[in-house]
Amino acid sequence: MKKIHVPVLLQETIDSLNINPEGFYIDCTLGDGGHSFEIFKKLSPNGLLISIDQDQHAIDFVKEYYKDEIKENWVIEKSNFAKISEIASKHARKPDGIIMDLGISSRQLEESYDRGFSYLEENEPLDMRMDEELGVKAKDLLVVLPEKELTKLFTIYGEEKFARKIASEIKKRITHINTVGDLTRLVYRVVPAAHQSSKNPSRRVFQALRIAVNDELNSLKQGLDNSFEILNINGRISVITFHSLEDRIVKDYFNNLVDSGKGVLLYENVIAPTDNEIRENPRSASAKLRTIVKIK
176 is in an annotated binding site: no
- Tell me how long the chain is: 296
Helix, coil or strand: residue 212: helix
The response to whether 242 counts as a known ligand-binding position is: no
DSSP string, 255-283: HHHHHTTSEEES-SS-B---HHHHHH-GG
Write the burial class of residue 138 (CB in 10 Å: 0-12 exposed, 13-18 middle, 19+ buried): buried
Cα–chain-centroid distance for residue 73? Answer: 24
The answer to whether 38 and 15 have CB atoms below 8 angstroms apart is no
Rounded CA-CA distance 220/2 in Å is 29
Q: Do the annotations mark residue 53 as ligand-binding?
A: yes
Residue 223 is labelled as binding a ligand: no
Q: Is 33 annotated as a binding residue?
A: yes
Is 55 known to sit in a ligand binding site?
no
147-158 vs 163-172: helix axis angle to the nearest 10?
140
101 is in an annotated binding site: yes
Q: Cite the annotated binding site by residue number.
A: 33-35, 53, 81, 101, 108
Q: Cite the annotated binding site for S-adenosyl-L-methionine by residue number.
A: 33-35, 53, 81, 101, 108
